[in-house]
Amino acid sequence: MKTVLIIGGTRFVGRIVIEKLLESAPDHKITIFNRGISNKTLFQNEETIEFIYGDRETKDIAQLFNRKWDIVIDFMGYFPDTLSYMLRHMHQNIGRYIFISTISVYDLKNPLSIPITEQGKLLTWKEKDRTDTSWSSYGQRKIACEEEIQKYKRLDHVILRPSLIYGKYDYTDRFYYWLYKIKNEKETEIPDEFEKPVNYTFSEDFAKVIIHFMEASYQKNVYNVLTHKAVSLSTMINESKNLLDTTCTIVSVHKEEKFEFELPLWFPKECSEISSERLDTEFNLNFCSLDESLKKTVKYFDGLQWPKPATF
């Protein structure tokens, strides 16, 4: 039996992690710390789950300071100053700390080599980035968070850097936006930049990786987590079209970069070919094939009866 603290955990990948733990390790004592806003009734009837409510960006986090945890999985570390405050008071009471980071810590616009490895060029951050709340500083804040973690040399920690995550419980509409369009429209235009190869991370396989690191010994502290070889988004869209059995015509067109932020998953200025060779070499993890992951994703949205995306 292990004590497991999950910070966040009721919305996307964390939800899958908890479901898998309830099935595979029912004797674990799980504590969920979040604001109690997303899916508040989720897991409320599970006897082995404790809820502590609060905002981690405030002194609410102090509710956790006098407890010991075998495992801490942190899905919600976005600001280095509050992360530093938490670790300063908790690092001696944590057996292993798993931090969910992102490939956005890399300088994706100016990579030193492709695909980008864990030794790739990282973004540099400025002091003002530490407390900035805009999306433009997301990668800078995440790398600043990683640096705070690495200050604690005796803290057993793993930093996981996933790419764009899709699949079950995805609330972002990033990939779903395109699935919905090809399912419901006669013709869908996609930017010709969608032919560029990109690495993605399937949500259920990412949850599998997180759970693996709860127990596994490891050689490094940082791992890129990609669950497929690089594939173009146009390929994913066309494969999904076959699964949806739709007659939608997909047309590749040139789009000006000024429309970048209007179309989900379009990053014309960034390289998204990332290497997960370190993870693949060190661990023999069997991931779903691209076809199988797309089938599971479509099945999930079938169950939701295909609601209109909020981004429409």
Tens digit of each residue's pLDDT, the chain (312 residues): 899 999 999 999 999 999 999 999 999 999 999 999 999 899 999 999 999 999 999 999 999 999 999 999 999 999 999 999 999 999 999 999 999 999 999 999 999 999 999 999 999 999 999 999 999 999 999 999 999 999 999 999 999 999 999 999 999 999 999 999 999 999 998 988 888 899 999 999 999 999 999 999 888 899 999 999 999 999 999 999 999 989 999 998 887 654 555 678 877 678 889 999 999 999 989 999 999 999 999 999 999 999 999 877
* Cα–Cα dist 5/48, whole Å: 12
Please, are residues 10 and 39 in contact by the beta-carbon 8 Å criterion? yes
Give pLDDT, residue 258.
Answer: 43
Which regions of the chain carry the CATH code 3.40.50.720? 3-165+201-225
CA angle in degrees (0–180, nearest 5) for 180-169-48: 165
Domain 172-198+231-270+290-304 class?
A: alpha beta
Q: Cβ(278)–Cβ(118) under 8 Å?
A: yes
Dist. CA 22–CA 19, nearest whole Å = 5
Token code pair at residue 61: 């986090």
Q: Is 304 helix (H, G, I), strand (E, B) or coil?
A: helix
Q: pLDDT at position 262, please?
A: 65
Give the 3-state secondary structure of residue 145: helix
What CATH architecture applies to the domain 3-165+201-225?
3-Layer(aba) Sandwich (3.40)
Portions of the chain given CATH number 3.90.25: 172-198+231-270+290-304
Q: Are 266 and 255 in contact (CB under 8 A)?
A: yes
**Residues 6 or more apart in contact with residue 213 via CB below 8 angstroms:** 96, 98, 158, 160
Which sign does the torsion angle of CA 265, 145, 101, 224 carry?
Answer: positive
